[in-house]
Structure formats: C-alpha cells, structure tokens
Amino acid sequence: MQKLHSKQQQWMPVLFLAPAVILFVVYVIFPILQSIWLSFYEWDGIGEKTFVGFSNYIELFDDYQFWVALKNNLYWMVFFMLAPPIGLGIALFLNQKIMGIRLVKSMFFFPFVISQVVVGLVFSWFYDPSFGLFNKAIGLFGMEPVAILSDENWVTFGIIVAGLWPQIAYCMILYLTGLNNLNPDQIEAARLDGAHGWKMLRHVILPQLRPATFIAVVVTVIGALRSFDLVATMTSGGPFGSSSVLAYFMYEQSIFNYRAGYGAAIATVLFLIMDIYIAYFLWRMLKSEKA
Amino acid sequence: MFPTPIEKRSLPFNLSYRVAVWIALFLWLLPLIAVMVTSARSMADINGGNYWGIPTEWMFFENYTMVFTQTPMLRYLLNSLIITLPAVFGAVALSTLAGYALAKYKFRGNVALFAAFIAGNFVPFQILMIPVRDLTISMGLYDTASGLILFHIAFQTGFCTLFMRNFIVGLPDELIEAARVEGVSEWQIFWHVVLPLVRPALAALSVLIFTFIWNDYFWALVLVQSDEVRPITAGISALKGQWMASWQLIAAGSIVAALPPVILFFAMQRHFIAGLTLGATKG
C-alpha cells in the first residue's frame, strides 16, 4: 500500500501538470522560438520562406520608422513611471475612514476595469479639436485649440496620458492594499519620536510599501512596452507613423504589409528589451521565495 | 494608520476633505461621465455642437435601443461571453492542477517550470503573433470562437498558475500528509482536501481574468475577422469607422462594452482586489 502511494506521488504531479504545460508549450514557448527563427527569413506570410540571415535586422536598424517607434516606447516608459507616484498620492489622499469612501475608492479604480478600446475612444473625444473638452479647457486660459492626435509633436504624449489613466488606477489599488497592511506599532513608535508628514512617509511608510512599489513598477514598465490597444484605437500609429510603438509597428508590418519575417524581427527586438525586466522580476521573485 | 486619521483634525479641515474627495472623483471620471451623457444625447444636439452641455432632450432609451437593433452590438456582446466564459473556466481549471503540483510536490525542474510560467506571462504578444495565427489557421480554427478560447486558456495559464501556486503553497502540508496516511489517493486528496480550501482563490482569479479576457483587443484582431465571431472590443472599434458622425451611438456602444466587467468588479470587489494584489503583499 505504502509503495503504491509513493509511486502515485511520483507520477501524479506529471499528470496534474501535463495539460497546462502542453498548452503553454504549444501556444507560448514554441511560438517564441518560431518567431525568432522566422526573423531570419523573408516571408510574405503565405508563400515560400527565403533564408536571409541578419538582413531583416540590418534593414530594421536603417529603418527610420523603427527608431520612431523605439523612441516612442522610451517616452512611454519614462512617462508611465509617473503612474506609481501619482497612484501613491491618490492612495494617501483616499486612505481615510469617512462615509462612502469605499465607493469612492472603487470608482477611482474604474478606468482599470474598462477596456482600453473604450479608454481610447473616451480620450479621442476628449482631445477632439472642434468640440473636445480638452480644447474647451485650454480655451479658458486663452490658448488656441490644439489637435493633439493629429499633431506629430503631441500625439504620443496625448496617448500616454490616456494610458496613464488606467495605470494610475492600478497603482493606486496596489498602494491602498499596502497602506492597509502597514505595521501600526512602527508608525506609533515613529510618531512618538516626533516623525510626521514627509519624514514619516520617506523613512517609515515607503520602506514598508516596498513590495507594492516593486509590483507597481514592474507592471508599469511591462504596460509601457506592451502598449498597443490605445495606439491602434486612437491613431493607428499616425499621423505618418509618428505615434507608432514597437508593438504596433510589428502588427502593421506583418498584417498590412505582408512582411512576416520583418515583423518577427521587430517582435524579437521587443522581446529582448522585455527580457531584461522579466529576468529582473524572476530574480527578485525567486530570491524572496528562498528567503 | 497613515496619513493621520481625518477624525483627529479640525472640523473645517474635515468638512473640506469630505467635499474634496467627491470633487476629485468627479474630475477623475469626467471623461467617462461625458461619454455617459453623450450616449443619451439626440442627433440634433450632436449636429448642433452641444457635446458637453446638458442634453436638450434625453434620448437614453432611443439610443440604446438603436444600438441593439441597428448594429451587431448584441451579437458582439454574446460573442464576448461565448469566448470569455469557457476561457476563464479552462484557464482556472488547468492552472489549479498545475499550481497544486508546483506547490506541494517536490520534483526536479519544479522551480524552472514555475519560472517558465511566470516569464511566459510577461512576454509581448507580438512575439507570439505570427506562429499562433499560423497554428490557428492550420487547425482550421481561424475566425472561430474556439481558436480564441484555446489561445486565451493557454496564455492565461501562465499568470493563473503563478497565482494558484502561491496560494496553495500557504496551505498546511499536514492536511495532505494526514490524508495520505489514511490511504486516500492523490487525486482524491486534490479533489476533496485541496479544492475546497482554494475556493476563495478560485473566485478571485476568475473575476480577474474575466476582465483580462473580456477586454482583450489584440487577439480579437489577429485571430478573428467576421462579425459572427468578433468580441465586443473589436466590434466597437469596427463600428467606430462606420458611424463617424453618430457619436451618441458609439458612446452608447462603449458603455455597453464597459458594463459587464464593471458590474462584475462591483459585485465581487473584494475578490477582485485580493486577486490583483496577491503578488503585492508577498513578493
């Protein structure tokens, strides 16, 4: 009996894991390898594949559009980093016990729950040059209307602001949970020592919020690199590709221009950039696992 | 508690805080409120440029009836349900099994496998796009709900396994050991001991990935093309092109698309937030 059991203990985990692992390998692991392999081929998506070595990459590094997209991704990453501090600010503002505060907190969270396509539509209205609320607002200050989404210099920032809206909501929730789990003894002790306000936040609260900050930063970076939905709904990368990001550029090249090999090369570059963060996240996660 | 509880402050401070909270909320949701009001506007208001004022007449029922009768919106809504529900069920089921194996069995490669699930969950969709599209076409599942469902199950399994594994790790080993000593089979242990204990995690996870899958737009573009299968995210964006001038209808459609996850979030708020922050309190 005992023998049968230990045998069962050996092969049962394999059975438990099999369905998930098989699907995951077929739909995630294997496609990653295939994409990297494809990036060395010239392919229209249907016909023959021709091996071209590194020429997709060489072309890519010469492609003006690639650098625009990469630069925009960089802007996304830099400005998206406003989400954790603003989210923390709102969380601190809302971390009180007054009547109706639960409702307020959950309504602040709304932008994260709704689809990015809807967020994109909402902000397209907001920016509309002839009737948008944005231009009405700057009109109050005597400024000329700006067609944010058709202005090459502003368009990416306009989309990033739309993206920040749900991202801030996400960070806010992470911090609200963190604030809920603070150690009250430490805060009381610090208060007795005369710490308050900014000092308290910096030296007592923020260190305790570190896990929340870590997750907030990781999901924000990943969100910035993954940005696609908003670009696709608000501008389709326009005007003249000026708001494109790597994710959208790749989609455009493979689906509209029938350049699957070239698209795969773009995806591989994006994947390599993302790997830095994935590796960092894994390292942190596994380290805390061992501790 | 930080910041200092508001009750300890002066009365004027208290009152102004209570007012400020609601003003802040109003400003925060202003873009959304505008869309809601627009969805009840008349065509005359839209043509007359009344986008932000009070509608001259409220056309709430007329506009929403029109969205459901004159456009495929109902079909899109149904498609989203047909795709999302099985995908949520599948991903949660597979990852509960996998998460249990990773949490409670010691075997070689355990950590490596866990790491692969975590890493896979973060990869950019574009690196999967061409091969997954080809695979779906070659299985004859392009432009079908099953094609999307299968992909969503597979992809969400990464996040879900991370989630379930972290939850199950916290369950006491003694329960499982005791059952083993009693001679209960491994499957029975999973079914009768582990599963009842992970119910709260199942709820949290389901709510969370329901919204992830419901709101997916990229894969709806890549794996589906006809109105018969298209989920609501891709649907609304297709409608946008057709009704350039009828903002009130697009607004109504947007509200319809946003509603299911919002309702679910409100109904299961505690679970939702527990799901979203599980990683944030550990890790």
Instruction: Indicate the helix (H) or strand (E) that contains B275.
Output: helix B269-281
**Which amino acid, one-letter code, is at A184?**
P
**Which amino acid, one-letter code, is at A163?**
G
Contact criterion met (CB < 8 Å) for B132 and A31: yes
How many Å apart are CA A49 and CA A261, to the nearest integer?
9
How many Å apart are CA B270 and CA B203, to the nearest integer?
10
Q: Which residue among A97, A122, A228 places its CB closest to the CB of B31? A: A122
Q: Which residue among B35, B115, B262 places its CB closest to the CB of A125? A: B35
How many Å apart are CA B251 and CA B255, to the nearest integer?
6
Contact criterion met (CB < 8 Å) for B5 and A97: yes
Non-local (6+) Cβ contacts of A210 within 8 A are none
A117 touches chain B (CB under 8 A): yes
Q: Please check the confidence at residue B13 and state whether its pLDDT lies above 70.
A: yes
The pLDDT, as a whole number, for residue A3 is 53
Q: Please check the confidence at residue B275 and state whether its pLDDT lies above 80.
A: no
Non-local (6+) Cβ contacts of B180 within 8 A are A5, A9, B189
Put residue A119 in one of left, alpha, beta given phi > 0 → left and psi -120 to 50 → alpha.
alpha
Higher pLDDT, B248 or A220: A220
The pLDDT, as a whole number, for residue B266 is 86
Lowest mean pLDDT among A158-162, A190-194, A225-229, B131-135: A190-194
Contact criterion met (CB < 8 Å) for A215 and B107: no
Best mutation site among B1, B29, B130 for testing chain A: the one with the most A CBs within 10 Å?
B130
pLDDT single digits (tens) A126-172: 888 877 788 888 888 888 888 889 888 999 999 999 999 999 999 99
Residue A50 β-bridge partners = A42
B56 to B39, B62, B197: CA distances (angstroms): 13, 14, 56
Best mutation site among B16, B127, B243 for testing chain A: the one with the most A CBs within 10 Å?
B127
| Residues within 8 A of B (CB atoms), A 162-191 only | 165, 170, 173-174, 177-179, 181-182, 184, 187
In chain A, the residue whose alpha carbon lies closest to the alpha carbon of B29 is: A108
Non-local (6+) Cβ contacts of B229 within 8 A are B79, B143, B144, B145, B148
In chain B, the residue whose alpha carbon lies closest to the alpha carbon of A256 is: B222
Contact criterion met (CB < 8 Å) for A255 and B180: no
The pLDDT-based confidence of B277 (bands split at 50, 70, 90) is low
Residue ranges of domains in chain A: 58-290
How many Å apart are CA A109 and CA A196, to the nearest integer?
28
Higher pLDDT, A77 or A285: A77
Strand, helix or coil at B123?
coil
Residue B91 · residue B152 · CB < 8 Å: yes
Residue A42 β-bridge partners = A50
Three-state SS for chain A is CHHHHHHHHHHHHHHHHHHHHHHHHHHHHHHHHHHHHHCCEECCCCCCCEECCCHHHHHHHHCHHHHHHHHHHHHHHHHHCCHHHHHHHHHHHHCCCCCCHHHHHHHHCHHHHCCHHHHHHHHHHHHCCCCCHHHHHHHHCCCCCCCHHHCCCCHHHHHHHHHHHHHHHHHHHHHHHHHHCCCHHHHHHHHHCCCCHHHHHHHHHHHHCHHHHHHHHHHHHHHHHHCCHHHHHHCCCCCCCCCCCHHHHHHHHHHHCCCHHHHHHHHHHHHHHHHHHHHHHHHHHHHHHHC
Measure CA B273 to chain center: 12
User: How long a stretch of residues is chain A?
Assistant: 291
The pLDDT, as a whole number, for residue A43 is 92
Measure CA B250 to chain center: 22
Contact criterion met (CB < 8 Å) for A271 and B116: no
A20 touches chain B (CB under 8 A): yes
Supply the DSSP symbol for B6.
Answer: G
B264-275 burial code (b ≥16 CB/10 A, e <16): bbeebeebbbbb
How many Å apart are CA B146 and CA A290, to the nearest integer?
40
| A159 neighbourhood in chain B, CB within 8 Å | none
| A205 neighbourhood in chain B, CB within 8 Å | 2
A94 to A84, A97, B139: CA distances (angstroms): 15, 9, 51
Average of per-residue pLDDT values in chain B = 88
Residue B94 · residue B153 · CB < 8 Å: yes
Q: Please check the confidence at residue A77 and state whether its pLDDT lies above 70.
A: yes
Contact criterion met (CB < 8 Å) for B247 and A125: yes
Cα B196–B200–B203 angle (5° rounding)?
110
Residues A58-290: name the CATH superfamily. Answer: MetI-like (1.10.3720.10)
The pLDDT-based confidence of B12 (bands split at 50, 70, 90) is confident
Higher pLDDT, B34 or A234: A234
pLDDT single digits (tens) B38-67: 888 887 777 777 767 777 778 888 889 888
B206 to A6, A97, A219, B149: CA distances (angstroms): 33, 29, 20, 15
Measure CA B180 to chain center: 38
| A5 neighbourhood in chain B, CB within 8 Å | 180, 183
pLDDT single digits (tens) A2-41: 555 567 777 888 999 999 999 999 999 999 999 999 999 9
Contact criterion met (CB < 8 Å) for A282 and B119: yes
The pLDDT-based confidence of A1 (bands split at 50, 70, 90) is very low
First to last CA, chain A: 37
A280 touches chain B (CB under 8 A): no
Instruction: Indicate the helix (H) or strand (E) that contains B19.
Output: helix B11-28
The pLDDT, as a whole number, for residue B282 is 42
